[in-house]
A and B are shown apart, each in its own frame.
Chain A
Amino acid sequence: MTEDYITMNRSDNVLIIGAGLAGMKAGLLLAHAGKKVYLVESLPLIGGKVIKNEESFPNLECSTCMVAPVQQDVLQNPNIETLTHSAVEKIEGEAGNFRAVIKKSARYVSMTDCIGCGMCFDPCPVSLKNAWEEDLGERKAIYVPCAGALPNVPVIDPDQCLQLNGQQECSACADSCMFGAIKLDDKDETIEVDIGAVIISTGAETFDASKLPELGYGKYPGVYTPFEFERLFASNGPTLGELTIRDSEKTPGKIAIIHCVGRQQVGYCSSVCCMYSLKFAHFIKSKLPDAEIFNIHSDICLPDKNYQKFFNKVKESDTTLIYSPSPEESKVSQNGSGLKVVYTGADGKEQHVEADMVILSGAVIPHPEGSSVATIAGLNLDSYGFFEAGKDDIGSVHTSREGVFVAGSAEGPKDIQSSVIQAESAAGQVMICLGEVNR
Chain B
Amino acid sequence: MKAKVGVYVCECGPNIASKVDLDRILETLPALDEYREIELVVKKYGLLCSADGKNYLEEEIKSNGFTHLVLGACSPRDHNKTFIGVCKKTDLNPYLYKIINIREHCAWIIPDKEKATEKAISYLRGGINRVLYQSSLFEKQLDIDPDVVVIGGGIAGIETALSLAGEKRNIYLIEKSGKIGGKSSRFSSLLPRQGKGLALIEEKIEKVSANPFIKVFLESSLESIIGFLGNFEIVVKSKNGNTDIKAGAIVVASGYGLIDPLSSESHSYSESDDVYTSLEIEEMLKEHGKIMTKSGKEPASVALVHCVGREEKGYCSRICCNYMIKIARYLKDQSDAIKVTEFHKGLCMPDKGDQSFHKAMAERGVEFRRIQKITQDGTKISFTGMDGSPGNADFDMVILAPAIVPSEDTDSLAELLEIPVSETGFFQEMHQTTDPVATSIDGIFVVGAAHSPKGITDSIFFAQAAAGRILTHLIPGEKIVPEVKVTEVLEAFCTGCQNCLDVCVYGAISYDESKGVSVVNEVVCRGCGNCFGSCPSGALRTKHFTNPQLYQEVREAIR
Residue-wise interface mask of A (153-182) relative to B, using a CB-CB cutoff of 8 A (1 in contact, 0 not): 000000000000000000000000011000
CA distance A309 to B14 in the complex (A): 51
* In contact, A308 and B471 (Cβ under 8 angstroms): no
* In contact, A394 and B457 (Cβ under 8 angstroms): yes
B538 in the interface (beta carbon within 8 A): no
Nearest Cβ distance between residue A37 and chain B, in whole angstroms? 11
Complex contacts, B468 vs chain A, CB 8 Å: 29, 424-429, 431
Complex contacts, B456 vs chain A, CB 8 Å: 394-395
Residue-wise interface mask of A (51-62) relative to B, using a CB-CB cutoff of 8 A (1 in contact, 0 not): 000001011010
* In contact, B352 and A413 (Cβ under 8 angstroms): yes
Task: State which of B90-98, B161-169, B231-239, B295-303 sits at the interface with chain A.
Answer: B161-169
Q: Of residues 293 to 325 in A, which have CB atoms within 8 Å of B's CB atoms?
A: 297-309, 312, 323, 325
Can you list 22 A-B pairs, Cβ within 8 angstroms, ordered by A? A21-B434, A29-B469, A112-B50, A269-B350, A297-B346, A305-B315, A305-B426, A306-B315, A323-B386, A392-B195, A395-B463, A397-B461, A412-B351, A415-B433, A422-B465, A427-B472, A428-B465, A428-B468, A431-B471, A439-B164, A439-B165, A439-B471
Q: A70 — nearest CB in chain B belongs to which residue?
A: B434
* In contact, A303 and B350 (Cβ under 8 angstroms): yes
* In contact, B461 and A438 (Cβ under 8 angstroms): no
Nearest Cβ distance between residue B386 and chain A, in whole angstroms? 4
* In contact, A428 and B349 (Cβ under 8 angstroms): no
Question: Closest 5 CB pairs between A and B?
Answer: A439-B166, A395-B460, A428-B468, A271-B350, A425-B464
Q: B474 — nearest CB in chain A belongs to which residue?
A: A438
Complex contacts, A76 vs chain B, CB 8 Å: 81
A186 in the interface (beta carbon within 8 A): no
Nearest Cβ distance between residue A404 and chain B, in whole angstroms? 16
Q: Of residues 157 to 197 in B, which have CB atoms within 8 Å of A's CB atoms?
A: 159, 163-169, 190, 194-195
A304-B452, A413-B352, A429-B468 known; 19 new pairs, CB 8 Å cut-off, are A29-B468, A33-B473, A113-B50, A115-B13, A115-B47, A268-B351, A269-B354, A303-B348, A303-B350, A392-B195, A394-B460, A418-B458, A428-B468, A428-B470, A432-B471, A436-B166, A437-B168, A438-B475, A438-B476
A245 in the interface (beta carbon within 8 A): no
Max count, chain A CB within 10 A of own CB: residue among B348, B354, B424, B459: B348
* In contact, A267 and B469 (Cβ under 8 angstroms): no
Partner of B355, one of A267, A420, A421: A267
B435 in the interface (beta carbon within 8 A): yes
* In contact, A425 and B461 (Cβ under 8 angstroms): yes
* In contact, B465 and A425 (Cβ under 8 angstroms): yes
Q: Of residues 54 to 80 in B, which have CB atoms within 8 Å of A's CB atoms?
A: 74, 77
CA distance A427 to B14 in the complex (A): 43
Given contacts A72-B77, A179-B47, A304-B452, contact A428 B464 (CB under 8 A): yes
> Which A residues form the contact surface with B (CB < 8 A)?
21, 25, 29-30, 32-34, 56, 58-59, 61, 66, 70, 72, 76, 112-113, 115, 117, 119, 178-179, 263, 267-269, 271, 297-309, 312, 323, 325, 345-347, 382, 384, 386, 392-397, 412-413, 415-418, 420-429, 431-432, 436-439
Nearest Cβ distance between residue B368 and chain A, in whole angstroms? 10
Complex contacts, A397 vs chain B, CB 8 Å: 461, 464
Complex contacts, A267 vs chain B, CB 8 Å: 355-356
* In contact, B352 and A308 (Cβ under 8 angstroms): no
Nearest Cβ distance between residue A61 and chain B, in whole angstroms? 7
B30 in the interface (beta carbon within 8 A): no
Q: B425 — nearest CB in chain A belongs to which residue?
A: A305
Complex contacts, A30 vs chain B, CB 8 Å: 472
Max count, chain B CB within 10 A of own CB: residue among A301, A345, A415: A301
Complex contacts, B314 vs chain A, CB 8 Å: 308-309, 312
Q: B473 — nearest CB in chain A belongs to which residue?
A: A32
B525 in the interface (beta carbon within 8 A): no
Partner of B460, one of A304, A396, A417, A437: A396
CA distance A298 to B385 in the complex (A): 14
B318 in the interface (beta carbon within 8 A): yes
Q: B311 — nearest CB in chain A belongs to which residue?
A: A308
* In contact, A268 and B195 (Cβ under 8 angstroms): no
Partner of B166, one of A271, A300, A301, A438: A438
